[in-house]
Amino acid sequence: MKSEFEMSMMGELTFFLGLQVKQTTEGIFLNQSKYVSDILEKYKLSDSSPMKTPMSTGSKLHADPEGKPVECKLYRGMIGSLLYLTTSRPDIMFATCICARFQANPKESHLYAVKRIFRYLKGTKNLGLWYPENSGFDLMAYTDSNYGGCKLDRKSTSGSCQFLGGKLVSWTSKKQNCVSTSTAEAEYVAAASCCSQVLWMRTQLRDYGFDIEKIPILCDSKSAIAVSANPVQLSKTKHIDIRASVILIT
């Protein structure tokens, strides 16, 4: 690269744009503990009590039209800080994306949910991603969804993660484009989205000389698995295949 570009060697990479990199003979560890400390201090939450989870399982966020409004600039700044942190913290991906849906008109209930994520981060500053050496290149994916989780438009949220030789390399949490009419449809749409990501990753790996034929996609819905395994779409499942526009191959 030195023959083509003007560059210099500055030693082993340890810190880059808020991302801390620790390289050892056993593997590489990525985290953003310093960045977490900085945003906690920025939003005056350094002295808050830590929480064990980023979001309560019982509470469901909604528009809250009668709630007290909060400053939009503050709320959007906190959301932006959390979204950047998801580079190494997939555990806050779902909760952060849920709170990001209310940036247009945030209320106190939404701000409280965001502060809970910050309080969770206070007790888990040192969490990150561990990439061990010589762990192989077997590609595996997991997919899941929550049925009708969004209170604004009743759309479900797809979630998936992809592991390369036991190393987490890709993850996503995104609201689906269509309104699913059943849990089976929500799970199938999520699996179809995960399948698209897996196919793209397989193409990229082929460019590096790794040809992977069978890639397991693990789904916890027997109905979605049955729909994907059946080449003949029945009248009650034909619309699922049309909406998802991807036929899974098991």
CATH number for the domain spanning 188: value is 3.30.420.10
Can you give the pLDDT at residue 18? 83
Q: Which residues of the chain have pLDDT under 50?
A: 246-250
Can you give the pLDDT at residue 231? 56
Can you give the pLDDT at residue 45? 92
Q: Which structural domain range is residue 110 located in?
A: 15-128
Can you give the pLDDT at residue 110? 92
CA 218/CA 144 separation, integer angstroms: 9
Residue 49 domain-assigned? yes
Q: Name every residue whose Cβ is closer than 8 Å to that of residue 71 and which is 6 or more positions away in sequence.
A: none
- Same domain, yes or no: 56 and 99: yes
- Same domain, yes or no: 141 and 232: yes
CA 140/CA 125 separation, integer angstroms: 28
- Same domain, yes or no: 124 and 154: no
List of E strands, 8-115 = 15-16, 19-23, 27-31
- Same domain, yes or no: 116 and 164: no
Can you give the pLDDT at residue 14? 86
- Same domain, yes or no: 224 and 140: yes
- Same domain, yes or no: 123 and 166: no
What is the Cα gyration radius of the chain?
21
| Domains in the chain, number | 2
The partner residues of 26 in beta bridges, in order of sequence, read none
| Other residues' Cβ atoms within 10 Å of the Cβ of residue 101 | 17
pTM passes above 0.85? no
CA 100/CA 85 separation, integer angstroms: 14
| Domain final residue, candidates 98, 128, 158 | 128
Length of the chain: 250
Cα-based angle 64, 65, 70 (whole degrees, multiple of 5): 80
Can you give the pLDDT at residue 238? 56
Residue 4 domain-assigned? no
CA 4/CA 192 separation, integer angstroms: 42
- Same domain, yes or no: 156 and 173: yes
- Same domain, yes or no: 108 and 175: no
| Domain final residue, candidates 101, 128, 155 | 128
Q: What is Dmax (Cα atoms) for the chain? A: 64
Residue 1 domain-assigned? no
- Same domain, yes or no: 19 and 122: yes
| Domain final residue, candidates 128, 146, 180 | 128
Summarize pLDDT for 146-183 with one digit per residue, the tens. 887 777 778 888 899 999 888 899 998 888 888 877 88
Residue 188 domain-assigned? yes
- Same domain, yes or no: 220 and 147: yes
- Same domain, yes or no: 144 and 121: no
Residue 153 domain-assigned? yes
Can you give the pLDDT at residue 136? 78
